[in-house]
Amino acid sequence: MWLPVSLNRPLVWMALMALPACVWISDAALRMVAASIVAFGLWDAWNQVRQQRLRLRLSQDAIGLAGDAMVISDVHNRILAVNPAFTEITGYDSQEVIGRKLETLAAPRHDKTFYQTFWSTLKATGRWEGEMWNRRKHGDEYPEWLKVRAITDQRGKITHFISLFTDISAQKARERDLRRIGYEDPLTGLPNRRRLHDLMSSRLRHLRAGESLDMALIDIDGLKSVNDSLGVEQGDRLLARFAQRLAGYMAGSVVGRLGGDEFIVIRTTTFNDHDKWVATLRDHMCRPFEIHDQSLRLGLTIGSCRAPEDGRDSGVLFQRLESAMYSAKRLGRNHSQRFRPALDKQDNPQLALVSDLRAALISGDQLELHYQTQHHPGSGALMGMEALLRWRHPQNGMISPGDFIPLAERHGLMAELGSWVIEKACAQQAHWQNSGMPKVIVWINISALQLFQGDLEAQLATCLERYRLRPAQIGLELTESVLLDERAGDMGPRLQVLRDLGYTVAIDDFGTGYSSLGYLKRLPVDKIKLDRAFIRELPHDKADAAIVTAVLAMAAGMGLEVVAEGVETQEQCQFLINAGCTLVQGYYFARPLPADELEQLWAPLPLAEGAS
Residues 183-203 pLDDT 10s: 778 788 898 887 888 889 889
Residues 197-256 pLDDT 10s: 888 988 998 888 889 999 999 999 877 777 767 777 788 888 999 999 999 999 889 999
Task: Work out the pLDDT band at 38, boundaries 50, 70, 90.
Answer: low
For the chain, give the number of residues: 612
* 444: nearest Cα among 465, 466, 473: 473
DSSP state of 473: G
**Buried b or exposed e, range 96-113, using 16+ CB within 10 angstroms:** ebeeeebeebbbeeeeee
My answer on whether 313 and 450 are in the same domain is no
My answer on whether 418 and 311 are in the same domain is no
607 domain-assigned: no
Question: What is the rounded average pLDDT of the residues 392-421?
Answer: 80
Residues 590-602 pLDDT 10s: 899 998 888 888 7
My answer on whether 563 and 465 are in the same domain is yes
Domain boundary among 316, 347, 378: 347
Q: CA 503, CA 471: separation in Å to the nearest integer?
A: 5
Residues 351-363 pLDDT 10s: 677 778 888 887 7
My answer on whether 48 and 97 are in the same domain is no
My answer on whether 526 and 587 are in the same domain is yes
Question: What is the rounded average pLDDT of the residues 84-88?
Answer: 87
Amino acid sitting at position 141? E
CATH number where 566 lies:
3.20.20.450
DSSP state of 426: H
- Residues near 590 by Cβ (< 8 Å), separated by ≥ 6? 372, 373, 375, 601
| Nearest 10 degrees: Cα torsion 177, 181, 186, 191 | -110
My answer on whether 275 and 416 are in the same domain is no
DSSP assignments along 192-247, one per residue:
-HHHHHHHHHHHHHTPPTT-EEEEEEEEEETHHHHHHHH-HHHHHHHHHHHHHHHH
- Residues near 115 by Cβ (< 8 Å), separated by ≥ 6? 103
pLDDT score of 279: 93
Rg of the chain over Cα atoms, rounded to whole angstroms, equals 35
Question: What is the rounded average pLDDT of the residues 39-55?
Answer: 67
Q: CA 204, CA 214: separation in Å to the nearest integer?
A: 11
pLDDT score of 452: 60
610 domain-assigned: no
CA distances in angstroms from 328 to 99, 217, 302, listed in the order given: 75, 11, 7
My answer on whether 188 and 139 are in the same domain is no
Kindly state the helix (H) or strand (E) to which residue 368 belongs, with its residue range.
strand 367-375
Q: CA 300, CA 217: separation in Å to the nearest integer?
A: 10
DSSP assignments along 92-118, one per residue:
--HHHHTTSBGGGGB-TTS-HHHHHHH
Q: Greater confidence, 436 or 343?
A: 436
Residues 475-500 pLDDT 10s: 998 876 555 544 444 567 777 888 88
Q: Where are the beta strands (DSSP E) in 127-190?
A: 127-135, 141-152, 158-167
Checking if the pLDDT of 174 tops 50, the result is: yes
Domain boundary among 44, 65, 86: 65
DSSP assignments along 459-472, one per residue:
HHHHHHHHHT--GG
My answer on whether 575 and 440 are in the same domain is yes
CB 459 within 8 A of CB 426: no
Strands 382-393 and 397-399: antiparallel
Q: Domain range spanning residue 123?
A: 70-167
| Helices 314-330 and 193-205: angle between axes, nearest 10 degrees | 120
355 domain-assigned: no
Q: Greater confidence, 523 or 265?
A: 265
Considering the entire predicted model, what is its pTM? 0.48
The SS3 assignment for 320 reads helix
Checking if the pLDDT of 285 tops 90, the result is: yes
1 domain-assigned: no
199 domain-assigned: yes
Name the average pLDDT for the chain: 80
My answer on whether 527 and 405 are in the same domain is yes
pLDDT score of 487: 43
Question: What is the rounded average pLDDT of the residues 70-80?
Answer: 88
| Span of 98-102, 125-129, 149-153, 532-536 with lowest mean pLDDT | 532-536
CATH number where 229 lies:
3.30.70.270
My answer on whether 21 and 130 are in the same domain is no
My answer on whether 483 and 391 are in the same domain is yes
Task: Work out the pLDDT band at 276, boundaries 50, 70, 90.
Answer: very high
DSSP state of 532: G
My answer on whether 519 and 444 are in the same domain is yes
CB 254 within 8 A of CB 199: yes
Q: CA 416, CA 354: separation in Å to the nearest integer?
A: 13
CB-CB neighbours of 378 under 10 Å: 13
Domains held by the chain: number? 4
